[in-house]
Amino acid sequence: MMRLHGYFRSSAAWRVRIALNLKGLAVEHVFHHLRHGGQRAPDYLRLNPQGLVPVLETEEGVVLTQSLAICEWLEEGWPEPPLLPESRDERAKVRAFAQAIACEIHAVQNLKVLARLRALGLGDEAVTAWARETIQEGLAACEALIADGEGPFCFGAQPGLADICLVPQLGNARRFGCDLEAFPRLMAADAACAALPAFAEAAPGRQPDAE
Ligand SMILES: N[C@@H](CCC(=O)N[C@@H](CS)C(=O)NCC(=O)O)C(=O)O
């Protein structure tokens, strides 16, 4: 059986949990407590020298890192239901939306960056404001990217890679107190996702390591 290394609150691991659920794939979960430094344990660093979750170990023992690479690997191995549209143009748009979240929002407000800001002397209030403003600004761009779409999901009638990235990022947005009322399309996609067991069961609060 495949093995997913994660942490209940990790939005990157959350993405992979959703993708696995959408594909109907069962995995063994291994949880690493990020606030206690589990990701820096020598055994874990041998798996992922970046010291980040998620890691997916395949049945053949191949070690995969980076949530978007893992989602695309799942897509190639189990094409149904598809996480990416058929049209090449649309696929590029979905990937761009996913990367707008993974590279431009999440990467700027993740645990490691916030810890660095604290180490540089910023207090809790300033660090929270950094995260909140980063997310708010990034989500405004995401809202504009899909504003003309029909929905209910980010790119049409079926959930896909964009939704897989959006839902965990909205989880972070709520944690940092963002004002989400300005984002009706994102909220509609979030609501459509929340109604699906694949998304609901991947939520942090449903994981065995949830606190
Ligand atoms: N780009 C990576 C991001 C992974 C990442 O930032 N993971 C966070 C949790 S969401 C982590 O492991 N943080 C540990 C740390 O910062 O020490 C991916 O998409 O997999």
- Does the beta carbon of 51 lie inside 6 Å of ligand 1? yes
**What pLDDT is recorded for position 200?**
98
Please give the Cα distance from 18 to 74 (Å, whole number): 11
Distance 53 CA to ligand 1 centre (A): 5
Distance 150 CA to ligand 1 centre (A): 32
Specify the ligand 1 atom closest to the Cα of 37: 17
**What pLDDT is recorded for position 43?**
96
Distance 7 CA to ligand 1 centre (A): 10
Q: If you write DSSP's letter for every residue of 97-122 in order, what string do you get? A: HHHHHIIIIIHHHSHHHHHHHHHTT-
- Does the beta carbon of 39 lie inside 6 Å of ligand 1? yes
**What pLDDT is recorded for position 124?**
96
**What pLDDT is recorded for position 106?**
98
**What pLDDT is recorded for position 182?**
93
Please give the Cα distance from 113 to 83 (Å, whole number): 29
**pTM of full prediction above 0.75:** yes
**What pLDDT is recorded for position 12?**
98
Residue ranges of the chain with per-residue pLDDT less than 70: none
**What pLDDT is recorded for position 104?**
97
